């Protein structure tokens, strides 16, 4: 029987049986002093291409930890093709956006500057760390791709024509989000959420003219930008994304089987 891994880590190394992995100072410290793991303990590792593997701690040293990869737990599977573009918001809330978008399965999380965006800088290292930690915790098989922030018009200049961009528009004409995402089921998708100050009217007008843009409404209330992100991603997942899966892909892996009333068997 396989050991139950004590934690789950995203690593950059290739994963195959017998492969050695060295962890940096921060992760070595986390395993040893925070989780109090020991030599011989098992952890799960994934790298976004080779699936998820069981690895065993070989040893700790001053500022390092080495693991040996043993057996594959899960084959790699592609997650949904769902991008999030969002105008940066203040610290705390932006961290939550990275964390929740990762949990909600976004494949790309991309800060874009719009006319009324307030923060003019984004700490991408911190944002990426939040997204990776969420990916480890929620049992994704990959971490979201997180490009450097750009001006919105730059992100749109090379836009792939087949990807529909749902523009979350707090004003102007927009289709109800559920109706719009259903119409584009099966297409690569992206959501764009504006800053706390909202989009400029001219921005919304210009965006609406682009052939791949579909303005959508998230109901009759004005949502905070972070709330709009979570609502939009959850809506897409529930209607056309991986929340619609059935069978083994419908539930988080490695959980005890339950009967129809949710009781452990
Ligand atoms: N200050 C603006 C609101 C900005 S809300 C105002 O008072 O009008 C921040 C972002 O969340 C918006 O730019 C939009 O992308 C999204 N959003 C908020 N509420 C929304 C709604 N009801 N429908 C669609 N998008 C919404």
Tens-place pLDDT, residues 165-202? 999 999 999 999 999 999 999 999 999 999 999 999 99
User: What residue ranges of the chain are covered by domains with CATH 2.40.240.20?
Assistant: 8-74
CATH class of 8-74: mainly beta
pLDDT(154) > 50? yes
Q: Measuring CA to CA, which residue among 148, 140, 147, 138 is closest to residue 48?
A: 140
pLDDT tens digits, one per residue of 233-260: 999 999 999 999 998 888 999 886 655 5
CA–centroid distance, 215 to ligand 1, in Å, is 12
Q: Which CATH superfamily includes the segment(s) 82-246?
A: SPOUT methyltransferase, trefoil knot domain (3.40.1280.10)
**What is residue 2's predicted lDDT score, i.e. its pLDDT?**
54
Element (H, E) at 168: strand 164-168
User: What's the pTM?
Assistant: 0.94
- Mutational pocket test of ligand 1: of 228, 233, 236, the residue with most ligand atoms within 8 Å of the beta carbon: 228
The whole-number average pLDDT for the span 19-30 is: 95
Q: Ligand 1 mean position to 34 CA, how many Å?
A: 40
- The segment(s) of the chain belonging to CATH 3.40.1280.10 are 82-246
Q: What span, in angstroms and rounded, lies between the C-alpha atoms of 51 and 53?
A: 7
Spell out which residues line ligand 1, taking CB within 6 angstroms: 168-170, 193-194, 196-199, 217-219, 221-223, 225, 228
């Amino acid at each position: 029987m396989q050991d139950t891994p004590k934690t789950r880590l995203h690593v950059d190394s290739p994963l195959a049986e017998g492969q050695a992995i060295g962890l940096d100072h921060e992760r070595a410290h986390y395993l040893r002093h925070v989780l109090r793991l020991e030599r011989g303990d098992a952890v799960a590792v994934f790298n976004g291409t080779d699936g998820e593997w069981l690895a065993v701690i070989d040893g700790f040293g001053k500022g390092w930890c080495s693991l040996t990869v043993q057996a594959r737990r899960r084959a790699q599977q592609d997650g949904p093709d769902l991008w999030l573009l969002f105008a940066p918001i203040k610290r705390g809330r932006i961290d939550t956006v990275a964390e929740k978008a990762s949990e909600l399965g976004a494949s790309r999380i991309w800060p874009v500057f719009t006319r009324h965006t307030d923060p003019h800088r984004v700490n991408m290292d911190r944002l990426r760390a939040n997204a990776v930690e969420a990916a480890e915790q929620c049992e994704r098989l990959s971490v979201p791709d997180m490009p450097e922030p750009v001006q919105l018009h730059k992100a749109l200049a090379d836009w792939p024509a087949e990807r529909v961009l749902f523009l979350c528009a707090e004003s102007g004409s927009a289709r109800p989000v559920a109706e719009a995402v259903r119409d584009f089921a099966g297409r690569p998708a992206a959501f764009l959420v504006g800053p706390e100050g909202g989009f400029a009217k001219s921005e919304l007008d210009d965006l609406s003219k682009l052939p791949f843009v579909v303005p959508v409404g998230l109901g009759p209330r004005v949502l905070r930008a972070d709330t709009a992100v979570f609502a939009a991603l959850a809506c897409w997942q529930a209607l056309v994304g991986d929340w619609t899966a059935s069978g083994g892909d419908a539930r988080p892996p490695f959980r005890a089987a339950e009967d129809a009333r949710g009781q452990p068997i």
